[in-house]
Amino acid sequence: MSVATASRVIEFREALREAMSEEMRNDKRVFLLGEEVAQYDGAYKVSKGMLEEFGPRRIIDTPISESGFSGMAIGAAMRGLRPIVEFMSWSFSLVAADPILNNAAKMLYMSGGQFGCPIVFRGNDGAGGQLASTHSWCVESLYANVPGLKMAIPYDPYDAKGLLKTAIQDDNPVFFLESERLLSTTGHVPEEEYTIPFGKALIRREGRDCTIISFGRPLHFCEEAAAELAKEGIDCEIIDGRTIRPLDIDTMVQSVQKTNACVVVDQSWSFASVGSEIASQIHSICFDELDNFVHRVHSDDVPTPYAQNLEQAYLPNARKICEAVRAATYNA
């Protein structure tokens, strides 16, 4: 459930747009660049109407040159501007891996504190609908490994707006992972400006028997699973981490101390993943509080398939989450 109290209901994509627009009005140094963000109104209509309001100098269409325009944006950020770079898909960030990891994340360190990089990279992360393996990348586990960048994954429109505003205001590089599948979902978003701090997880559902930790789109699968499990008398507590870096392990730990069982749901592949990192931290901090080892649910360890039935089976779906919770609570 969202924590918003206003009656206004808007789409996830609108919430993103509002966040960017508000920040661009408040601070002239903020600008947006990416493929099709201006005249096309955004490949996914996130930046619709922004060209009219801010003009072609601040809403900039780029050619298909992720490496080039990411590097260019980073150079501008070094100078003190605050660019927002839209990747049409985080899958395309791979060709820009050198500038975003080697330059953005490391600039402050390499320059001995002289030049920071107040930049936001954002775009669709994770499986869309039958987009197949080269367009369905979940990059969180790849990039979260690198020190020097922050990473946020919003769950609903309220979080999308609040977290994106924080990301734009942050002086450090932020990787903002949205989901194509969530763009049309709606939720309550207040009229007035607000931000959501990084590093504070949120309890989406309170429960006694098992802690489920997740981020972004998979949280919706978790809620589906929790409803199913409630019928079996298993009461799940769902934690939305909201940001991977910084990670609010304390809130997660407190929950596990209460339930003594934990399942981590991470849409990336399992090997060396965010899920494995959280499980490892829970194991080390909650060692004496665990009734069972931390169970993990990931997408299957295969390239994302095209066929709909295969893709649905591949995702960290509600069925897999139910199985994991039952196993973790010895109800299998």
Partner 1 sequence: MINIDTEPPQNSQGSGSRQARSFDSAPLPEKEVLLGWLRQMLLIREFEVRTMQGYQNRLIGGFCHIYIGQEAIAVGTIAAVNPDDPVVLAYRDHGHALARGMDPKYCMAEMFGRIGGCAKGKGGSMHMFDAEHYLYGGHGIVGAQTPLGTGLAFATKYEDEILHDGKSNHVTLCFMGDGALNQGCFYETMNLASLLDIPVIFVVENNRYSMGTSIERGTSMANDLHVKSEAFGIDHAIVDGKNVTELYSQFKPIADWCRKNSRPYFVEAQTYRYKGHSMSDPRKYRTKDEELVEESKDCIAFLTTQLVEEYDVVADAIKQMTHQVKAQVREAVEWAKNSPETPIEELYKDVFTDSWGPFTGTSAPEMLQDRGEA
Partner 2 sequence: MTIEITMPRLSDTMEVGTILHWHVDVGDEVSSGDILADIETDKATMELQTFDDGKVVSLVVNEGEQVNVGTTIATLTGDIPAGGEAPLEELVQTSVPENSEVKSSASVTASKTEHLGSRVSPVARRLAEEHRIDLGTVTGSGPSGRIIKRDILQLVDTKTETTAAATTTQSSVVAGQVSTAAQPIKPLAPTAPWQEDKVVPLSNMRQIIATRLVESKQTIPHYQVTMSFDMDPLLEMRATLNEQLASSGVKLSVNDFLVRCCALAMSSNPEFNASFGGDCILYHGPVNVGIAVAVPEERGGGLVVATIRNADTKSLRSISQESQYLSNKARTSGLSPDEMGDTTFTISNLGMFGVEHFTAIINPPNSAILAVGAAIEKPVIRNGELAVGNEMSATLSLDHRVIDGAMAAMYLKTLKELMENPASLLV
Token pair of 209, please? Answer: 């028997």
Q: Which range of residues in 94-102, 107-115, 163-171, 286-294 is near partner 2 by CB under 8 A?
A: 286-294
CA trace torsion 234, 288, 296, 186 (10° rounding): 60
The only residue of 15, 16, 32, 69 in contact with partner 1, by rule CB under 8 A:
69
Give the total of residues touching partner 2 (CB under 8 A).
8
191 vs 288, which CB is nearer to partner 2? 288
Residue 116 C-beta: closest distance to partner 1, Å: 6
Q: Which range of residues in 7-15, 54-62, 129-137, 222-230 is near partner 1 by CB under 8 A?
A: 54-62
The only residue of 34, 71, 157, 305 in contact with partner 1, by rule CB under 8 A:
71
Question: CA Rg, the chain, in Å?
Answer: 20
Residue 286 C-beta: closest distance to partner 2, Å: 8
Q: Which of residues 193-232 bind partner 1 (CB under 8 A)?
A: 199
Which stretches of the chain are assigned E, i.e. beta strand?
A: 9-11, 30-34, 59-61, 82-87, 120-124, 150-152, 174-178, 186-188, 202-205, 210-214, 236-240, 243-245, 262-265, 295-297
Residue 288, binding choice from partner 1, partner 2, none, Cβ under 5 to 8 Å by partner class: partner 2
CA trace torsion 307, 308, 313, 314 (10° rounding): 60
Q: Which range of residues in 26-34, 123-131, 203-211, 253-261 is near partner 1 by CB under 8 A?
A: 26-34
The only residue of 290, 300, 313, 317 in contact with partner 2, by rule CB under 8 A:
290
Does position 55 interact with partner 1 (CB under 8 A)? The reply is yes
Question: What is the DSSP-derived secondary structure letter of residue 303?
Answer: P
Does position 72 interact with partner 1 (CB under 8 A)? The reply is yes
- 134 SS3 class: helix
CA trace torsion 208, 213, 219, 225 (10° rounding): -40
Residue 294 C-beta: closest distance to partner 2, Å: 12
Residue 66 among the catalytic residues: yes
Whether 264 and 247 have beta carbons less than 8 Å apart is answered as no
The only residue of 8, 26, 49, 98 in contact with partner 1, by rule CB under 8 A:
98
| Cα–Cα dist 239/12, whole Å | 20
The only residue of 5, 113, 233, 330 in contact with partner 1, by rule CB under 8 A:
113
245 vs 326, which CB is nearer to partner 1? 245
Residue 228 among the catalytic residues: no
36 vs 235, which CB is nearer to partner 2? 235
Whether 104 and 117 have beta carbons less than 8 Å apart is answered as yes
Does position 291 interact with partner 2 (CB under 8 A)? The reply is yes
Whether 59 and 71 have beta carbons less than 8 Å apart is answered as no
How many CB atoms are located within 10 Å of the residue 113 CB?
A: 8
Does position 62 interact with partner 1 (CB under 8 A)? The reply is yes
The only residue of 4, 19, 20, 74 in contact with partner 1, by rule CB under 8 A:
74
Among the listed residues 241, 169, 176, 231, the one whose alpha carbon sits nearest the alpha carbon of residue 204: 241
Residue 113 C-beta: closest distance to partner 1, Å: 4
Whether 74 and 44 have beta carbons less than 8 Å apart is answered as no
Catalytic positions are 66, 135
Interface residues toward partner 2, by CB under 8 A:
260, 287-292, 330
